Amino acid sequence: MNRRPGRRLGAWCAGLLLAGVSVVVGCRVADTDGVTPVPQLLAFLPWLLAPTGFALLCALLARWWPGLVWGVAVLGLLAWYLDPYGRTGEPDGPPLTTFRVLTSNVEFGRGTPALVPQIRARRPDVVFVEECEYTCQATLEDDFTAVYPYRQAVHADGSRGSLILSRFPLKPTAGVRGTMGMPGAVADVHGHAVRLQLAHPMPPLPRQVGLWRRELGRLRAFAAAGQGTPTVLAGDFNASQDHAAFRRILDTGLTDAARLSGLDRTPSWPARTASVIGAQIDHVLLSGDFTATDTRFLRVTGSDHRALVVDVTLHQHG
């Protein structure tokens, strides 16, 4: 006997939803970012639990038992990949110095007026600002000349401008080549050399996934080149821990500060919906010399990103 029309519709809905989610989960299992729309959907991997749950309900109501088994398998894989990725080991050596890092994408400079009071209130020692165009740079440099006498910048308009402010003396480096500015420096932190690098690769737009992957690859090369040197790599990565290209950076030995503080799934973008749904694409990555505490995501009015502030402690090599 043929299925009733309602059951047939339920089975079709379940099948279509599970097929779409399975493609994304399959790429996660295969450790690849695939092609559009997979990279875009991978950023929201935890939220795929919702369509998977709905598909399970449709399969159950339609009494489509193969679909029910399929849905349970997909649900199990999603649950498995909710676990954070990367190392969690603590440095063996004693602490040498502690300082505070803040990173913020101010969205074409529009979040600058709201970032200024956050900097004054949080008093970070090093500030990374993405999409900091000419007006943003002028504002921050003028307002904080005495507080942050050292800075490294890429002077450009729109999203291409970036700025590093520091209480510590900086030795400029070449930075990482990218479509948007990614300046770098070596900071003298109380007598200890620390590599600082701002991250802002291109987002994985439908026709620019290859460029996004290449620029994340350059950040990975930067991280790999600094083995044995304390490193802070911070900014808007336009990638989450569910992206293979981002995990390649962590595989060099860096750790996400948010994970060390138990905030590995806290969304940072888009800011308007981050409290309900979003992706964590803003990160402070640390080499194995560091521990992290008191990590916080901050609302910056005018920007579509939350700022991230974290206290880091540099340890002596064990």
Quote the CA–CA distance of 94 and 297 in Å, as a whole number.
28
Determine the pLDDT at residue 255. Answer: 95
Domain boundaries, the chain: 5-80, 95-315
pLDDT digits (tens, 9 = 90+) for 261-304: 989 899 999 999 988 899 999 999 999 999 998 999 999 999 99
Chain segment 201-259, per-residue pLDDT in tens: 999 999 999 999 999 999 999 999 988 899 999 999 999 999 999 999 999 999 999 99
Least confident of 48-57, 84-93, 275-284: 84-93
Per DSSP bridges, beta strands 231-236 and 192-199 are parallel
What is the pTM (predicted TM-score) of this model? 0.95
pLDDT at 2 over 70: no
DSSP 271: G
User: How far from 273 is each of 37, 106, 164, 299, CA to CA, in Å?
Assistant: 21, 17, 28, 11
Residue 149: per-residue pLDDT: 97
Q: Report the topology of domain 95-315.
A: Deoxyribonuclease I; Chain A (3.60.10)
Predicted local distance difference test score (pLDDT) of residue 286: 97
**Tokens in use for 6?**
């309602």
Mean pLDDT rounded to a whole number for the chain? 95
Comparing 88 with 7, the larger pLDDT belongs to 7
Residue % of the chain over a pLDDT of 70: 99
Residue 192 has pLDDT above 50, yes or no: yes
Q: How far is CA 140 from CA 66, 164, 172, 212, in A?
A: 59, 10, 19, 28
